[in-house]
Amino acid sequence: MWQKLWRKLQTTIFGGAIIVGSSWILSKILGLVRERLIANAFGTAGADPIYAAFTIPDFIYGTLVLGSLLTAFIPVFIAYRQRDEAEAWRISRSILNIIVLVFTTLGLILLIFAGPIIGLLVGDKFGAAAQATSVLLLRIMSMNMLLFAVSNVFAGILQAHKQFFAISIAPILNNLGTIAGLLWLVPTLGPAGVAWGAVAGALLHTGIQAHGAWRLGWRPGHGVARGHDGVKQIGRLLLPRTIGQSVTQIDQLVNVPIATRIGPANLTIFRRANVLQDFPSSIVGVSLATVAFPVFVELLSQNRREEFVKHFSQIVRQIMFIIIPMTVLFIQLRAQLVRLAFGSDKVSWPDTIASAQTLGFFALSFFAQALIPVLARSFYAMQDTKTPVRITSVAVGLDIVGSIFLGSVMGVTGLALSFTISSILNAGWLFVVLHKRMGQLDELRMFSSTLKILGVTILMALCVQAAKMVAVGFGADLNTGLGVFVQTLTAGGVGVVAFVLLAALFKLDEASLIRTAIERFWQLVKNGNGQTTTPTG
């Protein structure tokens, strides 16, 4: 029974959504644990050198690998696999060998030139000791990009086969590696323990996905088929996507010196708010986009445009149904969330308030951030990586200019407001262009659904505010971690229950998501037990 159930979870869209969504939640929770451990160990200002050291590897990985490689590799790999599986494996080996060569070179550059790179990034705002710490950590992590790049080739193979378990487990193992370093290595090695933990996490990230690809039939090989049409096609798709990713990553990179120059600890304050705001958009937008992308590829490659629009509309409505109430909850409970995530004797109350206010400005763009992955992957499924690049470039340029101006006027919260404005512009522009490309996207239904969700969410917000006051009235002491936890849990729980009940009361179409999810999960269980053969994908 359980083997059949597991196979259904692994190989159906709904099952994949369960695995990916659940793992994203767990991964993000572990990410918050990691950040809290950093706060406890180093405080606010003391964490600046650590985050500065992570910036460069994150920038290179985010530019050359994250999203870029997968969206270029998967459509080509699927197309060749449908015709000739041996050629698909040959392409995957060639791409991996190219990646090993490129990222080994980049790793050596970081190892050798870590000092000048960190100096250029943070300028004269760091003291000598802080810069030396950042340089050491960067050198330790110099080869992490290679590990993650290799891991993403295996992730592409797994996604093409609709195998989601290893993909989902990989980021969890990565966070566990860093957490282990914080718990066991930092007490003896100091900040270097964080970096060695990150190396362990990268090895685990690669290992689990390599194992999954091996089980599917992937085997290593020598040489690079540079003249192969499939390899050249991936290169053509990868270049504009890489340019687009580089624009986005430059945006993140520029925020480091801007935040550093605002004043001490502002880099850490911005980072903490950014970690929290990434939670909802990643869980909702990225997880759904990850699962939907292979389906988009298949539908558009077969010119089944009406079915694509149907799937796209459904996913957008699902996103709005989840992300709108989540946005309001984050805004109403932003101070509580920051205190729960980063509360420590080494984190002052003004730092907490600054992080909470920054989170509030970020939250205004949750809906846009959640929609962008789905919108962008719609273009990638058409093998069009140029359109998202052009739109993202304009949005990021606006964000950089806005961050410089608003940062000087509003401080670190200005960086979050600028990001929100550019994200909304990015999502809106992508939607308009996709509409023109497809003719229609079922907009009337999406708009009507969104208005209903907004109305229900307003009622939910009143219930949340009342629950916050009731929790305090019943003795929740907000000067203690337990009191904050009780208030957050009470108000958040009331909000979720109220939204679900109100959605059912007002007969929101998307309220059937919950019922459908339960029914489909039960159907998976029954299929695994052999009681029914109704398809679930």
- Inter-CA distances, 322 with 75, 163, 223, 316, 456, Å: 29, 25, 47, 10, 12
Could you report the per-residue pLDDT of 127-157, keeping only the tens digit for each? Answer: 788 889 999 999 999 999 999 999 989 998 9
Residue 299 maps to a domain: no
Give dist(CA 297, CA 292) in Å, integer.
9
Residue with tokens 């059937």: 512
Give dist(CA 325, CA 444) in Å, integer.
21
**350: which 2 tokens?**
């003004």
Asked if residue 379 lies in contact with residue 240, where contact means CB atoms within 8 angstroms, the answer is: no
**2: which 2 tokens?**
């359980």
**312: which 2 tokens?**
């796209």
Could you report the per-residue pLDDT of 373-411, keeping only the tens digit for each? Answer: 889 888 888 878 788 888 888 998 899 899 889 988 888
26 pLDDT higher than 60: yes
Give dist(CA 349, CA 344) in Å, integer.
10
- Inter-CA distances, 160 with 8, 57, 79, 99, Å: 16, 27, 10, 19
Residue 487 maps to a domain: no
Give dist(CA 178, CA 241) in Å, integer.
29
Residue 374 maps to a domain: no
pLDDT class for 190, splitting at 50, 70, 90?
very high
Residue in 204, 270, 210, 266 with CA at minimum distance from that of residue 30: 204
Q: pTM for this one?
A: 0.72
Residue 115 maps to a domain: yes
Residue 148 maps to a domain: yes
* Res 246: pLDDT: 67
Query: How many other C-beta atoms lie within 10 A of the C-beta of residue 118?
Result: 25
DSSP code of residue 474? T
Give dist(CA 214, CA 208) in Å, integer.
10
Residue 98 structural domain? 44-245
**189: which 2 tokens?**
């090695």
Residue 460 maps to a domain: no
**How many separate domains does the chain show?**
1
476 pLDDT higher than 70: no
CA 281 to chain centre: 7
Residue 431 maps to a domain: no
Give dist(CA 280, CA 417) in Å, integer.
17
Asked if residue 28 lies in contact with residue 283, where contact means CB atoms within 8 angstroms, the answer is: yes
% of the chain residues with pLDDT over 90: 30
Helix (H, G, I), strand (E, B) or coil at 37: helix
Residue in 123, 72, 448 with CA at minimum distance from that of residue 261: 123
Could you report the per-residue pLDDT of 214-224, keeping only the tens digit for each? Answer: 998 888 877 66
Give dist(CA 117, CA 111) in Å, integer.
10
The secondary structure element, H or E, covering residue 409 is: helix 386-410
Most confident of 69-78, 240-249, 269-278: 269-278
Give dist(CA 475, CA 239) in Å, integer.
58
Residue in 230, 220, 232 with CA at minimum distance from that of residue 93: 220
**436: which 2 tokens?**
């023109």
Residue with tokens 């605002």: 262
DSSP code of residue 184? I
Residue with tokens 């597991």: 6
**6: which 2 tokens?**
């597991």
Residue 320 maps to a domain: no
* Res 537: pLDDT: 34
